[in-house]
Structure 1
Amino acid sequence: MRFALDESHEDFASSIDALLTKSDMPAVIRAWNTGDTAAGTAVWQRLADTGVNGLLVPEEHDGLGADAVDLVVALEQLGRHAVPGPVVETVAVAPLLLAAVAPDRLGALAGGSLATVAFAPHAPYAVDTGVADLVLHVADGTVSVGTVGRVRESVDRSRRLSEVSPSETLGTTDTAAAFDVGVLASAAQLQGLGRTLLDTTVEYAQQRKQFGKAIGSFQAIKHHCAEVAVGLEMARPLLHGAAIAVRDGLPTASRDVSAAKVACGDAAYRAARTALQVHGAIGYTQEYDLSLWITKVRALVTAWGTPDVHRARVVDALEKAEIAGVAS
């Protein structure tokens, strides 16, 4: 199995990176945190114009008809820049659900509409319903338009979580594949967040001086950053392998996306802890950009299934495979 990205993937990632780099994302995120989402929705429209929103929307509904590998490439970049809003829900989950129960709504997604999803039991709250043009509720295979209830705050101030109850039923379908894609997309976001945290920490360590030397020259700092880099690099093949499993419809897809979510979540969380340790207390202050990435990691580690949930899915799949092997 080949895990390396090809030139078209690299070019796609570079185009998203360039767009978001020009968008002053820290300022966009801070405005979003206060409820001023105008700049953020403008960024989303530019992303839609590049095809990000319509990645998984079929071509006959004005989308790109892309696959899970393309999704991971895009979501890693959205993670690197900590794009606010219902990222996983709009780009990954809603297109699969709507393709099964309400394909007439897909064109709006490809055109730039935002969607959010409450997906029981592992993603029970919908993210950022205030900016979503469509709120979905999923439970026991039934997909419905949702009615928004009480709003909850997140450790990530750019995420507002809402209770959702079903109203208009759109249809019933096997929602397992949509959940797996949501897990995969969340893992890709975490991978991107972790990479930015590492890059930011290394840059800071090269500039910050103590005792007349850059702290990056101290062996302890080098070791911490090296451990983060190793964790991220070891997680990436699992992420890309899971994307291939989803793309090709392999029977191991659910296990593989769970393994990727655990690995990317652990790597990003270590990157966040190391960034805070190297920067000191300033790293967690709201005025410092790093905090926007640290708090998003903390929120996404448990989004779309906690680490315990996904470790259990991996163990269960391995045990079943072992039993099947013994039986054969």
Structure 2
Amino acid sequence: MKFTWTDEQKAFADSLESLLSSADTVGAARAWADDDTAPGLALWNRLAEQGVNALVVPEEAGGMGATAVELVIAFEALGRHGVPGPWVESAAFLPAALGSNPLVGELAEGAVGTVAFAPHTPYALDADVAAHAFVIDGGTVASASAGERKHSVDGTRRLFTPVAGDAVSTDGDLAAAFNLAALATAAQLLGAGERLLAEAVAYVKQRRQFGREIGSYQAIKHKLADVRIALDFARPLINGAALAIDGPDAARDVSAAKVHAADSAYLASRAALQVHGAIGYTQELDLSIWITKVRALVTAWGTPAVHRSRVLGALVAAEA
């Protein structure tokens, strides 16, 4: 099967790329990590105007009623540019989890939302800036507020222990919401992996050692080629999962995509770190934004073990 974007999807991708390329996403990410959320929230509002927050919200609730393919397009761009904020929670998980709750309309308009959904994501990301925060325990959805601050390897992931409040009336599908969140995270990982590879390729073309560009050495060419192959294999898995998100094999396909996207992006982060040498270990280098983000996203919305278990379970059930 040949997968290609429609003209409308290409236009959407181009508009996002134009917006994010002209924005200081690195500055917003660094400020967010220092608890200065103003630049990040300004970017959040600009993306909301582009419809990112409303993608999977039904039209009758004030959204765009788009498909998971458009969601993947958006989240790959967010990952490629290192955009901070609880995007998976606001734009992927909560619209499906809340169902017909009127708060979905507010999220579509750009209100910041976050959620803690143990054991997959036990802490509420950026709960201190969220207009709507939730905690889910045993299938019960409740409002929440920010509790104790927790540390993340990724400084832009500001984690808080949720303090549960009143129960919230919902008729959403938590399983479907989890699949969308895992798929969006996989797309973010793909985008981050692509950015890391691009940064690594650009660097090895500039850095010279023993009178020649280090990118001319066969060992480095092979290392970066392995990353290119891994990312190229992740993309069809993610696109396939997006197309099958409403089908009977959604859990299997999403988990396969998340596992391979995580492995590929992590491979990209290691390769980028190695070719940059000692400077790659410094926080001052912008590369660190994507290296730490990948490390955090590998286990976000389901660890590799969880998703491998879901794939195995689906295969075993198919053989039974």
TM-score range, shorter chain: over 0.9
2:61: which partner in 1?
61
Alignment partners' CA distance in 2, 1:95 and 1:137: 15
Q: Which residues in structure 2 correspond to 1:94-105 (within 5 Å)?
A: 94-100=94-100, 102=101, 104-105=102-103
Of stretches 169-178 and 261-270 in structure 1, the one that deviates more from structure 2 is 169-178
What's the counterpart of residue 81 of structure 2? 81
Take 1:292 and 1:71, find their aligned partners in 2: how far apart are those partners?
22
- The answer on whether the counterparts of 1:142 and 1:171 sit within 8 Å (CA) in structure 2 is no
CA distance in 1, matches of 2:234, 2:61: 34
Deviation string, structure 1 residues 241-296 (Cα, Å, up to 9, x no partner): 000111xx211000110000000000000000000000012112111100011000
Higher mean C-alpha displacement, 72-81 vs 62-71: 62-71
Equivalent residue number for residue 128 of structure 1: 126
1:39 is aligned to 2:39: yes
Q: Distance in 2 between matches of 1:145 and 1:2?
A: 43
> Residue 242 of structure 2 aligns with which residue?
243
How many Å separate the matches in 2 of 1:114 and 1:283? 33
TM-score by length of 2: 0.97
Match of 1:320 in 2: 317
Unaligned runs of 5+ in 1: 324-328
Q: Secondary structure at the match of 2:200?
A: helix
Aligned sequence identity (%): 55
User: Does the residue aligned with 2:99 lie in a helix, a strand or coil?
Assistant: helix
Kept in 2: contact 1:255–1:317 (CA 8 A): yes
1:169 corresponds, among 149, 167, 171, to: 167
Distance, in Å, in 2 between the alignment partners of 1:304 and 1:181 is: 10
Aligned runs of 1:284-323 on 2, under 5 Å? 284-323=281-320
> Equivalent of 1:254, from 234, 244, 251?
251
* Mapped partners of 2:21, 2:99: distance in 1: 32
- Is residue 108 from structure 1 mapped to residue 106 from structure 2 by the alignment? yes
Aligned equivalents of 1:230 and 1:187: distance in 2?
A: 16
Equivalent positions of 1:271-282 (< 5 A) are 271-282=268-279
> In the TM superposition, what is the alpha-carbon distance from 1:96 to its structure 2 partner?
1.1
Q: Which amino acid aligns with 2:216?
A: S
1:163 shift after superposition: 1.2
SS at 2:143 equivalent: strand
Deviation at 1:5, TM superposition (A): 2.1
- Equivalent of 1:141, from 132, 139, 142? 139
Q: 2:156 aligns with which of 158, 161, 170?
A: 158
Between the aligned partners of 1:2 and 1:254, the Cα distance in structure 2 is: 22
In 1, Cα distance between equivalents of 2:297 and 2:86: 12
**In 2, Cα distance between the equivalents of 1:10 and 1:278?**
33
Residue aligning to 1:179: 178
Give yes or no for contact 1:121–1:139 (8 Å, CA) kept in 2: no
TM-score, with length taken from structure 1: 0.95
| C-alpha RMSD of the superposition | 1.2
Q: Whole-Å Cα distance in 2 between the matches of residues 203 and 68 of structure 1?
A: 32
1:111-146 deviation per Cα after TM superposition (whole angstroms, max 9, x unaligned): 211101101221111111122111011122221111
The Cα of 1:149 is off from its aligned counterpart by 1.7
Query: Which 5+ residue runs of structure 2 have no aligned equivalent?
Result: none
**After alignment, is 12-21 or 314-323 more displaced?**
12-21
1-structure distance, mates of 2:161, 2:2: 41
SS at match of 2:155: coil
Q: Deviations over 1:165-204 (max 9, x none)?
A: 3311113544110011110000000000000000110011
Structure 2: distance between partners of 1:110 and 1:183: 20
Deviates more, 1:257-266 or 1:282-291: 282-291
Query: Secondary structure of 2:244's partner?
Result: helix
SS in 1 for 2:169: strand
How many residues of Structure 1 are paired with residues of Structure 2 in the alignment? Answer: 319
After TM superposition, the runs of 4+ consecutive aligned structure 1 residues lying more than 6 A away are none
Matched, 1:196 2:195: yes
CA contact (8 A) 2:127 2:145 kept: no
CA displacement at 1:316 relative to structure 2: 0.8
